A and B are shown apart, each in its own frame.
Chain A
Amino acid sequence: MIQEGKIGVFEASSLVIFMVASKALFGAVRELVEATGPSAWYTTIISGITALIGFWIIIRLMQRFPGQELVSILKTVYGRITGSLIALIICFLYIYNAASFTREFTEAVKVFEYPLTPPSFIMILILLAVIVLLYYGLETTARTTSFFTWPLIVGMISIFFLGLPLGKLTNLYPLLGHGLDRTIITGLLRSSVYGEVIGLTIILNALQGIENFKKAGKHGIIISIIIISLSLFIYSLIFPYSVSVENTIPLLTLTRIIEYGRFFQRFESIYIFIWSVAATLTTAINLYLALSIYCKTFRINDHRVLVLPLCILLFSIAIIPKDIVTITSIYVHYLRQYGWIIFIGLPLLTLIVAAVRGKKGESANA
């Protein structure tokens, strides 16, 4: 089994925050506003609460198998071969997630900052940092993530506050958006946005106990709900609906219109920094989780040998989509719409199957 080291609650929460909240820096905000209108800011709260319920199911599952991480539980419940296959599906989901994230960032950064740079070059740069992070493993990735957590949160909140004077309350109307039914259904379906929290189950042993796991998951989801909801709220407050559905990267557009006098204007510099850091770290975390699942499935002791092949695989998947429209409308859209099947559905199914087949962990049996 790979040696993953130990991480604390703050570091684990940071992993969740980066995996979940960094989506607000990309096209997800626009997509939700387009789907639900001005009610987007509380649609995401519905999604978050759904995710918290899903997380409660995950906690129940982990409590049934104390000291076991997800891959091991899957093998216990479904048998070695079926369990491994399901684990590999989750592994692929994380690779897919990382690849779509990398490409989405690459396309966005190409459109706004580096129009002449080839996408492959930007991806290689990101992968350079990802390789270093993955090579040193979970401890380093978690510590680096926690290092950038406060800059991310403070940077985003400062953007929100600086943009606040530009807002008009009337932009938030109609309060129910496209209708309450649509808001609730979209909110439930898009709980997949918070679904990456399942990643903590993969690295459970590094978290030193189920209590830390619970705390990290809850904190991570709640902070992410606040960040995403705030960004949607400010965005809806500043841009009228007709304009807000047109912006490719909503928060970047927001930073561009901030102006305080002749000197303090265009706060893109803060944005670009947190943008690139968030993209790189989110890719690294997703890829590490995929790496961890793979190693645990095939009982590989040293993860470092897989770093380079996995990065090449990620690059190959990320380079496939034609353009940014393909990424956002197909890759990201389906992932956010149906990701919950794996993120919430799978733990629930596993819990039911475990109950039916009477499978329990060692200490739970005792």
Chain B
Amino acid sequence: MDSQKQKGFLSQLRNILTYRPPKQNAFVLPELEDEGNEGNSEKTNKGDIGDKSNSDKNNKNESSSVQSKKSKKNTKKPIRASEWKQIKSEDKETKDKISANINVNLKVIKEKFHVPENIDVIIREFKLAQKVNAFIVFIDGMVNNEVINNFILRQLLNPLQFNGYTSGCINQYVREHVLAVGQTKVIDKYSDVVKQVLTGVTVLFIDGCNNCLAIETRGYEKRNIGNPVTENVVRGSQEAFTENTKTSIVQIRRLIKNEDLIHETIAINSTDNPMASIMYIKGIVNPKVVEEVKRRIKSIKTDLILGEGILAQFIEDRPFMLFPQVLATERPDRAASHILEGKVLIFSEGSPFALIVPVNFLALLHSPEDSSLRWQLGSFLRLIRLTGLLIALFIPSLYVAITNYHHEMLPTELLLAITSSRENIPFPTIVEALLMEVSFEFIREAGIRMPGLIGSTLGIIGALILGQAAVEANIVSPIMIIIVSITGLGNFTIPNYSLAFGIRLLRFFFICMAGISGFLGISIGFIIIIALSTSMKSFGVPFMSPGWPRTKKSADSIIRYPLWKQEKRPDAINSLHRQRQPQVSRGWVVDSNPNNKGGNKNDSGR
């Protein structure tokens, strides 16, 4: 028995010490030979799994060594790098050109779209006018089938449609006489074909033509126009953008019926091939801003741009700052008003938000409702929001500073009230403040993540029950509950989500600064934040304008002047046409006065 046990033990020991090759069926993710070389990586991805790959590699190595020996004998003359680049680009261009031979085109398209593996890509071959070979390519689900069946295929298959054709490029004839579709475009590059097909366009190839026709057939499912979720107003428009850029652009066009409203699309260099759309009014916008927007978007090289949130991070001036330097809005009316101020609107597919650039800090505190209401009410709302922002930023830190360092500043009665409420609390104030603020953040985050009805009730339950229980258990003082609640309310008054988030994080910074050195710490922290903010720019426009640096007086900053007094566009944006309306914008004021026919030039702000 012992010997058997000993044998067993020895064999186990030997098993541990002996090397064994890994099991054959285990999946090993192959490492790339050269991570920087994308071309090679594809090759290795395709073939190098398992043992086979190793033998393949060996074979390749052997063959390559033989080849290298051979090639040494027939060494070519070295050419310059610039020449080599030129040859390469010319080669690439010629390869990218569409062939006149339909079989070649079919092969290339199948290769490009990985047909038949890729079952969404439909290639429909047919005889044009029952004579000429042709095919159309589109992506199933991205197109409107009715358009393809009734207005493309039906027309193309009908020989009667081609009665008038005599000679020349048949593509031109098809485009002018056969197809009953609104938008068509001639394309002569495969790369363009791929881009178009991926966006829902149908591409028609005809034998004998060295170009093809891109036919507008986009017809995928999309969400209907809904109400704004994050920018609610009582008075004003109740519609929001959708994820579909085309719909959003139409929404803007419906609001700004101006022939100078330009819409341009820019392809983003990303694996998911998204398109960014920019809108602006020519003649009002500063062309340098448009150029800069295009330059930044075109220069992006990345993997995935899913909506404006990701795009914004790629084009922002100072990505390490907590404040956003672009304004995201889901409201067409707000976007339209900014376009008319001389700003540029950016849409990215996949998100119901538009980006507005350039922006300043005060624009982030504005709401579309400010303009809908009378000027006194609009101005009051802005002041409330600004107060809310300051409360959200400073109240907890001021409480921490006063209770830890500056007790003498409080009136005696208030000091006694605070002291008696904190008598049984075991934690120092800073711990208490951080504890409650973090709990509040938990409730808020959980409320958003929890589904529907539970989410909305969770906030109330969390705040009421948790707060009450914490006070009764003598973990936090009632005054801290009040402070956290006021802070939360203040934060909710900030209309811009990104700014509100930035303020939430800054609050913790100020609590820590107050905990370190009271008022001095808060002052130092505030100076740092102001210094960082004043040094920031959004597409060339100082973030803290029109105050710091001081630009020309704006009638639409913190105090919103009456609309008829807002004669000029903001100075900091440097729009080409600063005058928004004449000095007398309410003509009836002048007209009604019989003694003042034609108006007085000095009647400013009427």
Contact = CB atoms under 8 A, between A and B. Distances in A.
Interface of A: 7-8, 10-11, 109, 113-114, 117, 121-122, 125-126, 128-129, 132-133, 136, 139-141, 143-144, 146-148, 262-266, 268-269, 272-273, 276-277, 280-281
Contacts of B522: 273
Given A132-B531, A136-B535, A147-B530, A109 B520 contact: yes
B549 A7 contact: yes
For the complex of A and B, the 5 pairs showing the least CB-CB separation, nearest first, are A143-B534, A276-B523, A140-B535, A136-B535, A143-B548
B402 to A, nearest CB: 8
B528 A272 contact: no
Contacts of B528: 128-129, 132
B286 interface: no
Contacts of B159: none
Contacts of B526: 277
Contacts of B521: 125
Contacts of A147: 530, 534, 544, 547-548
A262 B411 CA distance: 7
B544 A143 contact: yes
B550 A269 contact: no
Given A129-B531, A140-B531, A114 B523 contact: no
A270 to B, nearest CB: 10
Contacts of A136: 531-532, 535
Nearest to A267: B409
Nearest to A266: B409
B352 to A, nearest CB: 36
B527 interface: yes
Interface in B403-430: 405-406, 408-409, 411-414
> What class of interface size applies to chain B in its complex with A?
20 to 34
B533 to A, nearest CB: 9
B570 interface: no
Contacts of B405: 113-114
B557 to A, nearest CB: 14
B518 to A, nearest CB: 7
Nearest to B522: A273
B550 A11 contact: yes
A157 B522 CA distance: 22
A265 B523 CA distance: 22
A287 to B, nearest CB: 14
B190 interface: no
B411 A265 contact: yes
Contacts of A11: 548-550
B498 interface: no
Nearest to B542: A143
A9 to B, nearest CB: 9
Nearest to A263: B411
B524 interface: yes
A132 B523 contact: no
Interface in B371-403: none
B544 A114 contact: no
Given A122-B517, A140-B531, 16 more contacts: A113-B519, A114-B518, A125-B516, A125-B517, A128-B528, A136-B531, A143-B544, A143-B548, A144-B527, A144-B534, A144-B548, A147-B534, A148-B527, A272-B520, A277-B526, A281-B527
Contact of A266 (B408, B519, B527, B531): B408
Q: Chain B CB within 10 Å — which of A126, A272, A280 has the most?
A: A272
A146 B520 contact: no
A276 B520 contact: yes
A136 B542 CA distance: 14
Contacts of B520: 109, 113-114, 122, 125, 272, 276
Given A11-B550, A113-B406, A143-B544, A276 B530 contact: no
A140 B517 contact: no
Contacts of B524: 125-126, 128-129, 276, 280
Contacts of A264: 411
Interface of B: 405-406, 408-409, 411-414, 516-524, 526-528, 530-532, 534-535, 542, 544, 547-550
B409 A268 contact: yes
Nearest to A127: B524
B519 A143 contact: no
Contacts of A144: 527, 530-531, 534, 548
Contacts of A7: 549
Q: Chain A CB within 10 Å — which of B406, B409, B516, B544 has the most?
A: B409
Contacts of B542: 143
B76 to A, nearest CB: 47
Contacts of A273: 519, 522-523
B517 to A, nearest CB: 6
Contacts of B532: 132, 136
Nearest to A105: B520
A262 B415 CA distance: 12
A15 to B, nearest CB: 13
Contacts of A281: 527
Contacts of B414: 263
Q: Chain A CB within 10 Å — which of B517, B520, B542 has the most?
A: B520
A263 B413 CA distance: 8
Contact of A262 (B413, B523, B548): B413
Nearest to B521: A125
A114 B401 CA distance: 12
Contact of B549 (A126, A132, A143, A266): A143
Nearest to A131: B528
Q: Chain A CB within 10 Å — which of B521, B528, B542, B548 has the most?
A: B548
A128 B518 CA distance: 16
Q: Chain A CB within 10 Å — which of B414, B530, B542 has the most?
A: B530
Nearest to A261: B411
B597 to A, nearest CB: 42
B544 A10 contact: no
Contacts of B527: 129, 132-133, 144, 148, 277, 280-281
A77 B150 CA distance: 89
7 contacts: A129-B531, A132-B528, A136-B532, A143-B549, A265-B411, A273-B522, A276-B523
Contacts of A148: 527, 530
B111 to A, nearest CB: 53
A349 to B, nearest CB: 35
A139 B523 contact: no
B250 to A, nearest CB: 41
Nearest to B414: A263
Nearest to A134: B531
A114 B517 contact: yes
A122 B524 CA distance: 10
Contacts of A113: 405-406, 518-520
A122 B526 CA distance: 16
B530 to A, nearest CB: 5
